[in-house]
Structure 1
């Protein structure tokens, strides 16, 4: 056993995010047969990801603020602290902080068979995608 060394907070790249978004890696694979990654991701108010999907799906546990998650069919779900959202493998989606609030979530996912395909990044979402009405 060992205590993992702390990682530096990294600002996510503008090619994949709009607004200020930071990530702190909590856990990453040590060996080739390990797949799990965990990170704490912090979004400034209104900040958002681009469209993307994950080879093996993803769990997102909201710890602060209000998160907005959207899918290609126009569905938007707002998630609050203590709730966990599951996105299935291959589903295009985005996540964001609601207006007026910082949002933090814990992202948990497994690497794909080809690690370069674990997350497939696509185009930025539109303001209309972000502004849609959430499902109640």
Structure 2
């Protein structure tokens, strides 16, 4: 068992694998290949293409956004939605053009980052 106190989580950060303003706030530091973070996207901001070794769960906490799997069309996601992305599925996610969005991201295994979404 491991209890992670808020004071132990460390500061949030910006990353170079996003377009626009995106803030990552750790909830659970990497533990047994699992990470958890609250991720807040400014309107229109999104991740680069990426995939997860063991999959990813997103719980949309506030706002509206978009998610897209490679070869598919972007789909709207909004507060209250939960998304399961299977292991190895290449995808991106972010805020709608007219709304910020925050989601809790639970990532399993290594995240493989790719190019910017165009």
- How much is the aligned-residue C-alpha RMSD, in angstroms? 1.4
Deviations 1:55-97 (A, max 9, x none): 0000000001112001111322211111101110111100010
Structure number with higher strand proportion: 2
Normalization by structure 2: what TM-score? 0.90
Could you tell me how far apart the structure 1 residues matched to 2:4 and 2:26 are? 14
Structure 2: tracts of 5 or more residues without a match: none
* Aligned equivalent of 2:10: 7
Structure 1: tracts of 5 or more residues without a match: 112-117, 127-136
Normalization by structure 1: what TM-score? 0.79
- Residue-pair matches, total: 115
Q: CA deviation at 1:28?
A: 2.0
Question: What are the equivalent positions in structure 2 for 1:22-37 lying under 5 Å apart?
Answer: 22-29=23-30, 34-37=32-35
Structure 1 consecutive aligned stretches of length 4 or more whose deviation exceeds 2 Å: 1-4
On the 8 A contact 2:33/2:108 being kept in 1, the answer is: yes
Could you tell me how far apart the structure 1 residues matched to 2:43 and 2:88 are? 27
Alignment match of 1:42 (pick from 34, 40, 43): 40
